[in-house]
């Protein structure tokens, strides 16, 4: 398995859309505390993740809640990560 840091985790490799969403999060976080704004920041984070999925050509696959590992399966790479709230997301990318 590659030791390279994933593109989506490196701000210096983000596309313009990911950077714009990040700037939007920064602007929302300058506003007073409010649950609606917290929801907005979470949704913006999910939107950035969807853009990263598109850029990285990743398809999210459905799994049960106990999957928390990464592995190679034949020519398909199965990987996972954990979001800020502790939920795991699993991805499958064809090589």
- Let me know whether 43 and 64 are in one domain: no
- Let me know whether 43 and 81 are in one domain: no
- Let me know whether 65 and 51 are in one domain: no
Average pLDDT over residues 8-24: 93
Sole residue written with tokens 């990263």? 52
Instruction: Report which secondary-structure segment, H or E, holds 23.
Output: helix 16-29
Q: How many domains does the chain have?
A: 2
Strand 76-82 to 88-94 pairing: antiparallel
Sole residue written with tokens 């939107």? 47
Please give the pLDDT value at position 84: 63
Residue 23 reports pLDDT greater than 80: yes
What is the average pLDDT score of the chain? 76
- Let me know whether 5 and 49 are in one domain: yes
Of 32-46, 50-64, 79-93, the poorest mean pLDDT is in 79-93
CB 91 within 8 A of CB 80: yes
Containing structural domain, residue 65 = 58-95
- Let me know whether 79 and 94 are in one domain: yes
pTM, entire model:
0.63
- Let me know whether 38 and 19 are in one domain: yes
- Let me know whether 41 and 81 are in one domain: no
């Amino acid at each position: 398995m590659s030791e390279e840091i994933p593109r989506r985790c490196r701000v210096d490799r983000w596309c313009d859309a990911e950077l714009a969403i990040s700037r939007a999060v920064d602007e929302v976080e300058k506003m007073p505390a409010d649950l609606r704004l917290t929801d907005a920041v979470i949704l913006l984070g999910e939107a950035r993740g969807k853009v990263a999925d598109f850029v990285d050509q990743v398809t999210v696959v459905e799994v049960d809640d106990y999957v928390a590992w990464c592995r190679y399966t034949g020519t398909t790479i199965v990987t996972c990560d954990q979001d800020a709230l502790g939920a795991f997301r699993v991805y499958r990318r064809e090589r």
